[in-house]
Each structure stands twice: as C-alpha cells, then as structure tokens.
C-alpha cells in the first residue's frame, strides 16, 4: 500500500534481513510497539519476505533483532503492514539458555548407583560400568585431551591423584573441593563425572 510505504520512507529505517545465515537483502521497516501489550515490533510492507526465526539488523542503528512472531495488520479491509515482533539479541540468547536448561538431560554416569534428581524427580539413566579406579583414570584422560596448558594440566592431575588417594576417608571432601575450585574453567568437560564424585563425599 502506498500509505505505509510513504510512512516507512519518511520515518523508517533500512533493515538487513538474514535467514539461516543467508542474506535476503534490505527492506524498509519501522520500529513500533503495541499500545496495549507494549510488545515491540517492526512494521514491514506486506510483500516483504520475512519469517519467524529470521534476523534483522538496522543499517542506521546496527540494532540486531530475532523475529519470533508475525501478525498482519489490516486497515479498512486491506493489509496495511506485517507486524514482526522481535527479541533483542540478548533476550534471544537468554531464552535459548532457558530453553536448553529445561530440556530433558540423559547422563551416562560413572560410579555405583549414581543418580540425578531433577526437581526431586529421578529422571536419570543409571549406567554402572566403571569402577572408582577407572573413574579417576577417565578424568585424567579427559583432562589430558582438553587442557592445553601443561602447568595447569599437571596441577589438575595432582589434585585428581589426591582425590583418589583420599577416597573413602574424611579427607576426600577437602580434596574434592580443591579440585572443583581449580577446575572451574573446565566444568563443561568434567560435568559427567561430578555426580560420581559427589557420591564419595562423606558427611
């Protein structure tokens, strides 16, 4: 419609559209928000090819948005614009982190009768296939494969040895705490071993 194009030309901004990493070109749009819900959206002409999940970047402001909902705004029985509701990049990333954290996680756990409780409901799959001795060997192996700094690797291996030496004693708790503190930067690779290690903590 000519009215919306005139409005976009006067008050809008050029946006680069991207879908699945592919550049779709540049379209004129205008940022706005619903009067009632206050949800932010970008208005585009009806012919613009834009879908939920697309990314848009303002050429003037460099603001980046992810399109998460699209509705059609009609005026006097005709399509006036596409209202493309967006999330900022930070909001999108926070939503993804939350979504992933709510997904069901299946662990292959090490150590006898190790369990994981999620919101007090046991949802783990318990695979008992490794002795405590093998557990520490596996930890050292994964550290060898993933820790590039030789000094750091040496220190972490010594801490693993210390845990192994102190298992089934009251000294294990301190050894475990020291290991976890020093290995904080490597929790991604070590997380599968944590449940088995915590089972060794004595009260």
pLDDT (0 to 100) of residue 113: 42
* 16-55 pLDDT, tens digit each: 999 998 999 999 988 888 888 888 999 898 889 999 999 9
Range from 75-84, 94-103, 184-193 carrying the lowest mean pLDDT: 94-103
Q: What is the pTM of this model?
A: 0.47
3-state secondary structure the chain: CHHHHHHHHHHCEEEEEEECCEEEEEEEEEEEECCCCCCEEEEECCCCCCCCCCEEEECCCCCEEEEEEEEEEEECCEEEEEEEEEEEHHHHHHHHHHHHHCCCCCCCCCCCCCCCEECCEECCCCCCCCCHHHHHHHHHHHHHHHCCCHHHHHHHHHHHHHHHHHCCCCCHHHHHHHHHHHCHHHHHHHHHHHHHHHCCCCC
Is 192's pLDDT higher than 70? yes
């Amino acid at each position: 419609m000519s009215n919306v194009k005139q409005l976009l030309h006067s008050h809008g901004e050029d946006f680069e559209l991207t879908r699945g990493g592919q550049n779709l070109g540049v379209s004129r749009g205008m940022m706005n928000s619903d009067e009632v819900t206050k949800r932010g959206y970008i208005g585009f002409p009806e012919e613009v090819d834009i879908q939920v999940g697309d990314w848009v970047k303002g050429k003037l402001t460099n603001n980046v948005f992810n399109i998460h909902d699209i509705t059609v705004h009609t005026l006097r029985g005709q399509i006036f614009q596409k209202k493309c509701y967006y999330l900022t990049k930070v909001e999108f990333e926070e939503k993804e982190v939350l979504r992933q954290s709510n997904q069901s996680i299946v662990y292959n756990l090490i150590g006898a009768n190790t369990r994981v409780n999620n919101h007090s409901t046991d949802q783990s799959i318990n695979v008992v296939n490794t002795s405590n001795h093998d557990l520490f060997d596996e930890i050292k192996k994964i550290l060898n494969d993933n820790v590039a700094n030789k000094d750091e690797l040496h220190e972490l291996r010594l801490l693993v040895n210390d845990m192994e030496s102190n298992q089934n004693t009251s000294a294990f708790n301190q050894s475990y705490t020291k290991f976890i503190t020093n290995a904080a930067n490597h929790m991604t690779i070590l997380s599968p071993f944590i449940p088995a290690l915590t089972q060794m903590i004595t009260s």
